[in-house]
Amino acid sequence: MDGPRSHNVLVIDDQPDIGQLVSILLARRGHETTVVTTPHDALTLDPDSHAVSLILVDLGVTRGEEALTFDALGATFPNRPIVIMSGHSETAAHDELQRPDVVGFIRKPFRPDDILKFLEPTGAA
């Protein structure tokens, strides 16, 4: 019987310690991460060499240009689910949560299961 599927998660957060924390949490579950601190850095990645399964985006990195950021991410990494992270309430991300590629919201501070539920939906974590 095969083990759980391994994922590569793209983390976009302007706080390097958050990216490192997510990377450690996911590595413990056998997942890989690519961590960048700006949307621009994410958009310079080659989608063919970064088989991204999920994109975690801190709402703060969009600097008020949410629509542009999410459109560009969707064009670069088509059909990849996006999860928004923020220290603010979910209502701050209301418009973005209506997008078809945005599948959820994680409020900071978060627990490991808050992220893992988007990778291991059966609870087999």
For the chain, give every domain's residue range: 8-116
Q: Does domain 8-116 have CATH number 3.40.50.2300?
A: yes
Contact status, residue 84 vs residue 102, Cβ threshold 8 Å: yes
Q: Beginning with the edge strand found earlier in the chain, give each strand of the sheet holding 8-12 in spatial order.
A: 32-36, 8-12, 54-58, 82-86, 102-107
- CA 84 to chain CA mean position, Å: 7
Beta-carbon contacts of 39 under 8 Å, excluding residues fewer than 6 positions away, are: 12, 57, 61, 62, 69, 72, 73
pTM of the prediction?
0.90
pLDDT in tens, 45-100: 999 888 899 999 999 999 888 999 999 999 999 999 999 999 988 887 888 889 99
Rounded to whole angstroms, how far apart are CA atoms 62 and 3?
Answer: 36
